[in-house]
Structure 1
């Protein structure tokens, strides 16, 4: 039997090189977790995410991007190519993790947890598209879920309040 998961820090994920990373290393930080894609209409949000990273990283914000190919096949590349794309096109310096699934029976446990903690429109559990964002407080609790169309910079006040 699995013990109940009480916060985001109890999860592990894979980095872009396939190494297991425990989110417990981010305890005491505010997290912004985003499912991303390189060929999406929302891909320019990487620039705003990087701006948030530059503004708040030293104050305790960690942005974690999780590429996903479940929405229109908009992230077909390999992890190494995704890393290069993000760095070259948007100057991304926050962690872009290994490609994952966010919906369905094979969804990453982290995203299953996030969806359970913060439902979408009409109380739906499923993630509808790329660039859905989850804001996590310093205790590892999910505070808010933001729609793909929500611009990252519009979240500045909510992030600052948690820092």
Structure 2
């Protein structure tokens, strides 16, 4: 099992297989445009731009489960991300990342990379999951973790061949 086994919906409402990212290093993030951490959109975009030609992508999954800090619908979210934060990395349809309606991809991510004290739950917006080229979840980063500080972990994964052991 890997992230490539899941199907997601783009922000435009189209079904997409995560297998389209096979062979790439991914940073999967639950986002919210009204969150205090929304300034991270800029750092996430910088990471995406810096490494996209080497097989890296940031994937943003809007979520309104935390203090309704993502109140809009997909078209509004996409527009806010582009106009307010300059986002051009892939965005997906607004989802739940916890609870009984949690998206299966996020169920998988939280099972594979636990949080503080082994907790499975996502506690807030901008929780980040780093995935290697083989689709394996390598590490979870907290909402407060600055995306720029994730760069060394990304570089390490970009240098590895698929199937190589990872020590992040």
TM-score tier (shorter): over 0.9
Considering only aligned residues, what root-mean-square deviation do their CA atoms show, in Å?
0.5
Q: How many residues align?
A: 158
Q: Does 1:134 align with 2:107?
A: no
Q: TM-score, normalised by structure 2?
A: 0.93
Runs of 4+ in 1 over 4 A off after TM superposition: none
Partner of 1:77: 72
Q: Which residue in the other structure is 2:109 paired with?
A: 114
- Answering whether residue 146 of structure 2 is matched by residue 151 of structure 1, we say yes
Counterpart Cα distance in 2 of 1:8 and 1:88: 30
Q: Distance in 1 between matches of 2:43 and 2:94?
A: 21
Task: Determine if the alignment matches structure 1 residue 55 to structure 2 residue 50.
Answer: yes
Alignment of 1:36-51 (within 5 A): 36-51=31-46
Could you state the TM-score of these two structures normalised by the residue count of structure 1? 0.96
Matching of residue 160 in structure 1 with residue 160 in structure 2: no
List gaps (5 residues or longer) in structure 2: 159-168
Provide structure 1 residue ranges, at least 5 long, that are not aligned to the other structure.
Answer: 1-5
